[in-house]
């Protein structure tokens, strides 16, 4: 049996997801780790179980595939696992003009960033409501606060995540459940290479995955609604960007995504 502080984390094999797993394990919580790479998950499982004497279940699934979220849920159901903390961290982006990008890549991005996230939230929320207890953290992005030329679909998916999470938080508050949208700025992870973002200016001062994970986990524990890990960026997004003329904001957003020569 797993303990009453069990977290399911998607995208747990690297980056923010891996660091969130370590933080939860440090606090004595059991884990369900979900990602495509079974070898990386098994390695992390050994590390966490040996170091923190907790229990870890590994689920190897590609969330870009139809039915993957349901298969994850069915596996935990078969094992009688009660997930008390759901962290939807899996996600990816991609750089370039929309008309030049591969449509299948964009659809896979929407599937992971929005559809699988929504499905997993719906599946695990049922148990949380019945137990009148739970925490949900959806890893979004500061990209969710504006449209993003050269990353049009990615920015749009994150806008969905931040909006969905806030609406959900209001709905579930009466059930002693919190929902937090973690909205980091640039983070130094494999996201950059996977999304063809090398050379984009804003990644020059990227934060470490461990610092973002620590910030996000604490925000989730406090039940914060939207958590932005950089104070100056939070001020800019909340108080300056909304006042800019739309065309100026779009030009500025595009310039931030352009690659240096």
Look at residue 243 in the predicted model and tell me its pLDDT: 82
CB atoms within 10 A of CB 198: 11
Q: Mean per-residue pLDDT for 118-123? A: 98
Q: Is residue 1 part of a domain?
A: no
Sort 170 into a burial class: Cβ within 10 Å, 0-12 / 13-18 / 19+: exposed
Q: Provide the domain count of the chain.
A: 1
Look at residue 250 in the predicted model and tell me its pLDDT: 87
Give the residue from 91, 213, 103, 178 showing the smallest Cα distance to 140: 91
Q: Is residue 154 part of a domain?
A: yes
Q: Mean per-residue pLDDT for 183-210? A: 69
Q: Mean per-residue pLDDT for 224-230? A: 94
Q: Is residue 70 part of a domain?
A: yes
Band the pLDDT of 82: cuts 50, 70, 90.
very high
pLDDT of 87 over the 80 cut = yes
User: What is the spatial distance between Cα 239 and Cα 196, in angstroms, rounded to a whole number?
Assistant: 30
Contact status, residue 172 vs residue 218, Cβ threshold 8 Å: no
Q: Where are the beta strands (DSSP E) in 106-255?
A: 134-139, 177-182, 226-227
Residue tagged active-site, from 154, 155, 160, 217: 154
Band the pLDDT of 218: cuts 50, 70, 90.
very high
Q: Is residue 132 part of a domain?
A: yes
pLDDT of 255 over the 60 cut = yes
CATH code (residue 233):
3.40.50.720
Query: What tens digit of pLDDT does each residue of 5-64 get?
Result: 999 999 999 999 999 999 999 999 999 999 999 999 999 999 999 999 999 999 999 999
Q: Is residue 252 part of a domain?
A: yes
Write out the residue range of the structural domain in which residue 23 sits.
Answer: 6-257
Band the pLDDT of 168: cuts 50, 70, 90.
very high
Q: Is residue 248 part of a domain?
A: yes
Q: What is the mean pLDDT of the chain?
A: 92
The pTM (predicted TM-score) of the whole model is 0.90
pLDDT of 203 over the 70 cut = no
* Residue 124 bears catalytic tag: no
Q: Is residue 166 part of a domain?
A: yes
Q: Is residue 44 part of a domain?
A: yes
């Amino acid at each position: 049996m797993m303990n009453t502080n069990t977290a399911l984390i998607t995208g747990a094999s690297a980056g923010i997801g891996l660091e969130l797993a370590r933080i939860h394990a440090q606090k004595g919580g059991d884990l369900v780790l979900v990602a495509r790479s079974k070898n990386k998950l098994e390695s992390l499982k050994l590390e966490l179980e040996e170091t923190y004497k907790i229990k870890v279940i590994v689920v190897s699934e590609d969330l870009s595939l139809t039915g993957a979220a349901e298969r994850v849920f069915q596996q935990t159901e078969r094992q009688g696992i009660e997930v008390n903390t759901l962290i939807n961290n899996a996600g990816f982006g991609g750089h370039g003009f929309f008309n030049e990008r591969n449509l299948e890549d964009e659809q896979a991005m929407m599937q992971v960033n929005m559809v699988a996230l929504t499905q997993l939230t719906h599946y695990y929320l049922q148990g949380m409501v019945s137990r009148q207890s739970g925490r949900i953290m959806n890893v979004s992005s500061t990209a969710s606060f504006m449209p993003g030329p050269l990353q049009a679909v990615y920015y749009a998916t994150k806008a969905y995540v931040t909006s969905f999470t806030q609406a959900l938080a209001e709905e579930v508050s009466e059930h002693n459940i919190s929902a937090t949208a973690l909205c980091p700025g640039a983070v130094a992870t494999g996201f950059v290479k996977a999304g063809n973002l090398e050379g984009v200016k804003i990644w020059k001062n990227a934060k470490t995955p461990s610092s973002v994970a620590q910030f996000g986990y604490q925000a989730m524990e406090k039940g914060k609604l939207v958590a932005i890990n950089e104070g100056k960026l939070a001020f800019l997004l909340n108080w300056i960007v909304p006042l800019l003329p739309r065309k100026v904001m779009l030009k500025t957003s595009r310039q931030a995504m352009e690659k240096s020569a």
